[in-house]
Amino acid sequence: MRTAHRLAAAAAIAAALSAGPVPGALADGRAGSHAAKAAGAERARDDEGGWQGDGLSLNAADNKKVDAFLARARSAERTVSPEMQAVARISHATLVGFDHRLKSPDSLKRKVATAMKEVPGQTVDATLDKINDSVRYTLQWPDGSYTDGVAVASSALALWGNDSVKWSNTWGRKHGYKGINAAWRDPRSRHVFEVQFHTPSSKWAQEATHKLYEELRLPTTSPERARELREQQDAIFTSVPVPEGAEGLTAPATAKARPATVRTLPAPVERPAAA
């Protein structure tokens, strides 16, 4: 069945490339518009060029490296986004939250600073190497078409030469987050981007628990409060139905395991922004 999905994805891709915007996508239609908003979202710079926020900080040198990483993310997004729009179309997915596909500077710097505080001595370079969601997308299907939709979408991404570097399928968990969080390395920019695969229920649960998760990640959260937050998250995710076959979904073959011919698909066409 997985081979059939790959063949179907290859056959549909050419038509998807020439089609218009994805129906149902929450998008502004301009690859750079959110980037412009994100560029102005940084919380604070100190007099030395560092960053501060939520009791966290980056020195000037580390802050400069994060800014350079953000610039690479914005460049990669311009080639990955047309591809993701085509993938959503051929897999009959809704591309949710497309206008938030770039992580804001403030959010990324908070994540980097938190990770460095949790692992004393870890460099900013090592921390950035572990960041998968500076460019991120969410594909969503109804429960009944979720399993086939994920198989088609992931096969299409692999056929385009994207390498799967992370595949976290948590549908089989008794507690906690439900869904699939995957990361892929774009073959052109070599930048890693995230794709989440959701149903309406699992996406709702993710959004309902977002503030709880953010509080849980803060270094100022006490162990007692952290336990309460986890219990609240578990109660929400327990209510999410598991689509048939979702627990068995796995990542597609890596580049080394794929025939060379699958890398000959045409590149997605980047469309100019409307005037």
Note the pLDDT of residue 62.
97
251 contact partners, CB below 8 Å, separation of at least 6: 154, 164, 167, 182
Render 26-83 in DSSP notation, one character per residue.
---S-TTHHHHHHHT----B-TTS-EEETTEEE-HHHHHHHHHHHHHHHHHHHHHHHH
Note the pLDDT of residue 219.
77
Tokens in use for 166? 């992370």
140 — phi, psi (to 5°)? -135, 135
Note the pLDDT of residue 220.
85
Structure confidence by residue, pLDDT tens digits, 23-52? 444 433 333 444 434 444 445 555 579 999
Structure confidence by residue, pLDDT tens digits, 77-126? 999 999 999 999 999 999 999 999 999 999 999 999 999 998 999 999 99
Is the pLDDT higher at 111 or at 261? Answer: 111
